[in-house]
Amino acid sequence: MVAMDTKVALVTGAAAGIGRATALAFAAEGASVAVIDRHEEQGALVAEQIRDTGGSALFIPADVSQSDHVASMVQATMSRFGRLDFAFNNAGIEGDSGPIEECSNENWDRTLAVNLTGVFYCMRAEIPAMRESGGHGSIVNCASIAGLNGFPGLAAYVASKHGVNGLTRSAALELATDGIRVNSICPGAIETEMIQRLKVEQPEMLERTIAAHPLGRLGQPEEIAATVMWLCSTGAGFITGQAVAVDGGYTTQ
């Protein structure tokens, strides 16, 4: 791993699940962490947990679908910590499910606003901050196996995650000469709040989902966090523009 005790990481969607696990992982490696989420109480608790264990963290409430929120969160990070080295653009929503002809304008617009436009807003603000910090940073965007495959009934979500992978590749080419690497991760089914809802509301679908993963289980948020940490490390220093599947073998089928 890269030494992170003088580094600064920013994590969106950090109040729970994959984002929370990644914020805690950055802190465990010594990085100062900007904890970003629109859920203020939960996000503040994550930052407090980091500080309680001797780390350095700042909670910043923000909705990534709002460009002014994103600009302010990066500005606040720079004001507090003086630099930005790593960014995990993780905030996302699944949107409503159903056939394309029943997908409302509101569902389409909101899903893309958070999942795709939000990543664009984040990178647009993070890139100048990383350049100001000397370059050689790492950006990881959270896509999904839905950014590699199609899934019926989830057109908006699938489109948004394919868009994240495309945006990642273009940014990687633009930023290579700055030494800023940009990759995306494509998780399979991970045990998060969404899965908890499936357990209650659609247990049969959850069983089918688990069975579709060759490893025969759900992934854990900490396993995704470990992948993000590796992509930010010197061990991944020759990797950029890649969509890394962390999916229990799902996309090999």
The active-site residue, picked from 157, 175, 232, 245, is 157
Please tell me the distance from the alpha carbon of residue 169 to that of residue 164, in angstroms, as a whole number.
9
CB-side exposure of 168: number of CA atoms within 13 Å?
32
**Is 228 in a helix, a strand, or coil?**
helix
Buried b (16+ CB within 10 A) or exposed e, 50-75: beeeebbbbbbbbbbbeeebbeebbe
Please tell me the distance from the alpha carbon of residue 108 to that of residue 7, in angstroms, as a whole number.
37
Q: Alpha helix locations (H) across 5-154?
A: 17-28, 40-52, 67-81, 105-112, 118-132
Annotated catalytic residue 121: no
Please tell me the distance from the alpha carbon of residue 196 to that of residue 215, in angstroms, as a whole number.
20
Please tell me the distance from the alpha carbon of residue 253 to that of residue 249, in angstroms, as a whole number.
7
Annotated catalytic residues are 157
